[in-house]
A and B are shown apart, each in its own frame.
Chain A
């Protein structure tokens, strides 16, 4: 989002206005759904959302973030959206890595048939690349994703509870 609270890895810092004297707040964000299409006089459905402006902090800071998460206030929603974005980005990048590496193989052999006849230790190269190599690759990517995802989650929990 580009505002000052965002750290490079996408995990958002807690609201910097916590515990500070009130400042003029930005205009509240309220989402309106589109006008109903039917001719009946249905009131427009507005998704009600509790908007966070600056408040004197009475509750302790660690509880505040949790409460905001649970009540899905505008700030709480931003918090979880950041986590979702980070996790999705990790997943997509790693999937792309696997897809590109594996998907390039048929094209490679299609374009350079001489490679298809090379042999390594008596076994044709296509068999090694298709039959043996992908499995350690996929296992390695799986391990890597697991580590990254757990780290993101740990950071998020630490941020919420501090």
Chain B
């Protein structure tokens, strides 16, 4: 493959800048209580950009375009779903959750239902959700790097993990809102600028790619304009819509007939003559008209609704979203921030869709290898051979890596924060240990498990969040009669079903793909089950309603000026100025406590900081 030197440079630049920023901010964080100061002065607009920046992951940056390339109009649901999840968050959960003062999801469970058992179970589910979401980020990084340089697929995963682990263990990066906000604008630029350029090129007909430009609505599959060689890296089974001449490796020219599957073993090179239609990997749609229309069968319809349910209810259960959410000063600001996030996300998602359309026309060979997630990166050089294309590809690669780094670091940081505060004892040493463990487990899974479509894996983590935390959040905030037993049963049932579906999927991927659509999009079954079980068991155990439910509901819903908010992080860990010197992020004594990253200062009504942890007192 031709190495694109610009892309290598830009990726290296992004990695180095991230490394440096993490390094610098960790030193900065040690000396002042800047978490508190930053919190009070951060306006909701910047906070919104930070949340959006962290939320736009590999799935949004690469996966959506790849899926649009492969599945056409059906893939448009992903951006809608991602954004609708934030809307659901705002309508049902944003204000009350902030007012509860909880700094993690398990903490909210304990605050609402007074049950430490539930807290522990929630922690485990947060870990699963985080890992399921982390996996596609790392695999995407591996794929992106392999697209740019001739590296093996695991190299990118390991690179990203090392950078993140260093930053998170060092303790600095995630807390700094400015960095994440910058990430959003950079990612927006990185995807918008090439899109504008490529679209202009397309509109003026100046593109010289290997694919046939033809109208998108042609009934024929896309065709190769010149003789094209496609290198096959993984075993694939191809199908053709018309008789196609092809040469496998150095063998004789043969003709593939439609209707039968043609298996190709990796590594191989396929040569197609000019004008040959592009064969496709099942389930990519092969004709352009199919691709443009939403899928017409009932199974597809139900599968779409299942996905939408998962995305709509899953966002509120993602660990990194919630933790950054907590950095708002009060409930009203939390709502306002979410509105702005909606705007920023809507703005962003226009571009991957357009890139997907363009790649359908200009890089159709990606359909052959099934490697559609890399569509975004291969598109510029496919359309504009030479320097211009390389620079655009470099920009996209940099944006993709920024996406991997920011989301993955947010995930590792929030998941290890949850582990440290809920399973271990909350000291800095525990935080570092859990970061290391999470990073190692994630990279091991990323390297060992087969690579699926990025958006599919992300969809599973949304389904898990929607089946475990969404019922508890929605019912916990609005329904007085929730009990911890109902919550436990609902969470375990919903979560267990989704995890079983994940395992079944992995098994089926290795043994021939027998999984029906329900196993790939389980939300339509698991979410109602979880809700129903939670409600039924809560009603059945009505004597276990917590005694303080009235006070808790008041705290969640009373408007902020009345001053009923609490700050549970301050109550548990104390404020930074009371913190032991050794407890700050670079301290080696391990006697300090870990603050949840980015937690805010106390509000006016809760200024008593109860120290619960030992440590030396030093100002």
Which residues does chain B contribute within 8 Å of A131, judged by CB atoms? Answer: 76, 79, 350, 353
Q: Is A54 part of the contact surface with B, judged by Cβ < 8 Å?
A: no
The CA-CA distance from A127 to B77 in the complex, in Å, is 11
Cβ proximity bits A118-138 to B, threshold 8 Å, 1 near / 0 not: 000000101100111011101
Of B114-122, B288-296, B581-589, the stretch lying at the interface with chain A is B288-296
Cβ proximity bits A23-45 to B, threshold 8 Å, 1 near / 0 not: 00000000001101100000001
Interface centre among B292, B296, B301 (most CB of A within 10 A): B292
A44: nearest chain-B partner, CB-CB: B543
The answer to whether A116 touches B294, judged by C-beta atoms less than 8 angstroms apart, is: yes
Q: Which of B87, B305, B560 is the one whose CB lies under 8 Å from A103?
A: B305
The answer to whether B338 touches A69, judged by C-beta atoms less than 8 angstroms apart, is: no
B304: nearest chain-A partner, CB-CB: A106
Cβ proximity bits B528-558 to A, threshold 8 Å, 1 near / 0 not: 0000000000000011010100110110011
The answer to whether A142 touches B342, judged by C-beta atoms less than 8 angstroms apart, is: yes
A36 nearest CB across to chain B (Å): 7
B347: nearest chain-A partner, CB-CB: A135
Q: Which of B79, B88, B292 is the one whose CB lies under 8 Å from A126?
A: B292
The CA-CA distance from A33 to B483 in the complex, in Å, is 14
The answer to whether A157 touches B551, judged by C-beta atoms less than 8 angstroms apart, is: no
Which residues does chain B contribute within 8 Å of A84, judged by CB atoms? Answer: 478, 553, 557
Q: Is A143 part of the contact surface with B, judged by Cβ < 8 Å?
A: yes
Q: Which of A72, A116, A124, A127 is the one whose CB lies under 8 Å from B550?
A: A72
The answer to whether A91 touches B91, judged by C-beta atoms less than 8 angstroms apart, is: yes
Which residues does chain A contribute within 8 Å of B338, judged by CB atoms? Answer: 142
Which residues does chain A contribute within 8 Å of B553, judged by CB atoms? Answer: 80, 84
A135 in contact with B559 given A47-B547, A127-B76, A142-B339 (CB within 8 Å): no
Cβ proximity bits A57-68 to B, threshold 8 Å, 1 near / 0 not: 000000000100
B95: nearest chain-A partner, CB-CB: A149
Contacting A at CB under 8 A, from B275-331, are: 292-294, 296, 301, 304-305, 308, 312
Which residues does chain B contribute within 8 Å of A80, judged by CB atoms? Answer: 553-554, 557-558
The CA-CA distance from A149 to B88 in the complex, in Å, is 14
Q: Which of A45, A94, A156 is the one whose CB lies under 8 Å from B559?
A: A156
Which residues does chain A contribute within 8 Å of B73, judged by CB atoms? Answer: 124, 126-127, 130
The answer to whether A66 touches B353, judged by C-beta atoms less than 8 angstroms apart, is: no
Inter-chain CB contacts under 8 Å: number? 139
Contacting A at CB under 8 A, from B443-471, are: none
Interface class of chain A by DSSP: helix
Which residues does chain B contribute within 8 Å of A88, judged by CB atoms? Answer: 478
The answer to whether B562 touches A34, judged by C-beta atoms less than 8 angstroms apart, is: no
Which residues does chain A contribute within 8 Å of B478, judged by CB atoms? Answer: 84, 88
The number of chain A residues with a CB under 8 A from chain B is 55
Q: Is A51 part of the contact surface with B, judged by Cβ < 8 Å?
A: no
The CA-CA distance from A154 to B560 in the complex, in Å, is 10
Which residues does chain A contribute within 8 Å of B304, judged by CB atoms? Answer: 106
Interface class of chain B by DSSP: helix
The CA-CA distance from A131 to B83 in the complex, in Å, is 12
The answer to whether B346 touches A103, judged by C-beta atoms less than 8 angstroms apart, is: no
The CA-CA distance from A70 to B548 in the complex, in Å, is 12
A133 nearest CB across to chain B (Å): 10
Contacting B at CB under 8 A, from A58-106, are: 66, 69-70, 72, 76-77, 80, 83-84, 87-88, 91, 94-95, 98-99, 102-103, 106
Which residues does chain B contribute within 8 Å of A2, judged by CB atoms? Answer: none
Q: Is B102 part of the contact surface with A, judged by Cβ < 8 Å?
A: no
The answer to whether B559 touches A77, judged by C-beta atoms less than 8 angstroms apart, is: no
Q: Is B404 part of the contact surface with A, judged by Cβ < 8 Å?
A: no
Q: Is B561 part of the contact surface with A, judged by Cβ < 8 Å?
A: yes
Q: Is A21 part of the contact surface with B, judged by Cβ < 8 Å?
A: no
A138 in contact with B84 given A33-B543, A72-B554 (CB within 8 Å): yes
A66 in contact with B91 given A136-B346, A146-B335 (CB within 8 Å): no
The answer to whether B342 touches A138, judged by C-beta atoms less than 8 angstroms apart, is: yes
Which residues does chain A contribute within 8 Å of B543, judged by CB atoms? Answer: 33-34, 36-37, 45
A149: nearest chain-B partner, CB-CB: B335
| A contact set with B: CB distance below 8 Å | 33-34, 36-37, 45, 47, 49, 66, 69-70, 72, 76-77, 80, 83-84, 87-88, 91, 94-95, 98-99, 102-103, 106-107, 109-110, 113, 116-117, 124, 126-127, 130-132, 134-136, 138-139, 141-143, 145-146, 149-150, 153-154, 156-157, 160
List of 9 A-B pairs having minimum Cβ-Cβ separation, nearest first: A135-B346, A153-B559, A130-B76, A91-B91, A72-B550, A142-B339, A116-B293, A142-B342, A131-B353
Given contacts A69-B562, A134-B83, A149-B335, 17 further A-B contacts (CB under 8 A): A33-B543, A37-B543, A83-B557, A83-B558, A87-B557, A95-B88, A127-B353, A130-B73, A130-B76, A130-B80, A130-B294, A131-B79, A131-B353, A139-B343, A146-B90, A146-B335, A146-B336
